[in-house]
Amino acid sequence: MPMPGVVSQGFMLKTLGKVCSDHKPPLTGMLSQSQAFLADLKDEKQPLLALFIKYGIVKTEPEQAHLSQDWFNAPTGWWPQAQPLEPLIRHGLIKALEVAARDPDTGAERRPRLPLDAYWLCHPGPQLAVGSGQAGTQVEVVVCWSDHQVTFIIHSPEPPERLPARILTAKDPIWIVKRVPAESPGVEDLYCERDAQGEVKSKIGAQRMKTFDNRYARFVRVLTDSPPLVG
């Protein structure tokens, strides 16, 4: 899950949402895909990466290597002060699937169960990582819900590298509305802010988040040809 922008979804999180939203059993008396996934998540003997492979959330060898080396590698992975990340993400998913199945306030079973959307939000976290002595090193999972869906958010500091902008050609279902300089290409103008002389000094603009248009293998090929862009 290399980061295209401040918030992203991409292939793996989109597929994760589909698995967690599949509540229909293939045959009477059988578990649905989301129920089977929840049961497997509660089995600590099964590594999380193995479950992602089993359920088709991770499909390519480069995706496997990326999660194994960068996310689920406590000694040398991203954000070492926040490692290990596997139990954090595992139990965040368990909580999200439990919320999808049952109202956490009343305990009532949801019929039907709620669908789930998953996203990754990059920003310095509000809490310190345990024992780190540093601000902004925390990784956390946020689970939000309404009457219509559960939203699963991985909230982390900036990763060491971002995807090169030149390979981001597919559109994520995300708009970012923000203040930008007066001359900002690639941003849809929503509102112009003017100074006392009437000159445009800044704008409120909407920027569509982009992702890569192929599975993670293409990203690896691009980075093999040229160094990653940071920031």
What are 120-175's pLDDT values in tens digits? 998 754 444 455 444 457 899 999 999 999 999 999 988 876 666 666 777 888 88
Would you say residue 184 lies in a domain?
no
Burial (Cβ within 10 Å: 0-12, 13-18, ≥19) of residue 97: buried
pLDDT digits (tens, 9 = 90+) for 4-45: 457 888 889 999 999 999 999 988 889 999 999 999 999 999
Residue 58 has pLDDT above 80, yes or no: yes
Token code pair at residue 57: 């959330």
Would you say residue 189 lies in a domain?
no
Main-chain phi, psi angles of 166, to 5 degrees: -65, -20
Would you say residue 142 lies in a domain?
yes
**DSSP structure class, residue 109:** B
* Averaged pLDDT for residues 193-209: 89
| pLDDT for the residue numbered 226 | 45
| pLDDT for the residue numbered 163 | 62
Would you say residue 51 lies in a domain?
yes
| pLDDT for the residue numbered 64 | 92
What is the tally of structural domains in the chain?
1
Least confident of 14-18, 23-27, 98-102, 218-222: 218-222
Token code pair at residue 173: 């279902």
What percentage of the chain has pLDDT greater than the value 70? 81
E strand or H helix at 168: strand 168-181
Name the one residue in this structure whose structure tokens are 């600590």.
44
Would you say residue 169 lies in a domain?
no
Would you say residue 98 lies in a domain?
yes
| pLDDT for the residue numbered 120 | 93
Tell me which amino acid residue 99 is: V
Would you say residue 127 lies in a domain?
yes
Would you say residue 182 lies in a domain?
no
Q: How much is the pTM?
A: 0.80
Domain that holds residue 82: 7-163+214-225
3-state secondary structure of 183: coil
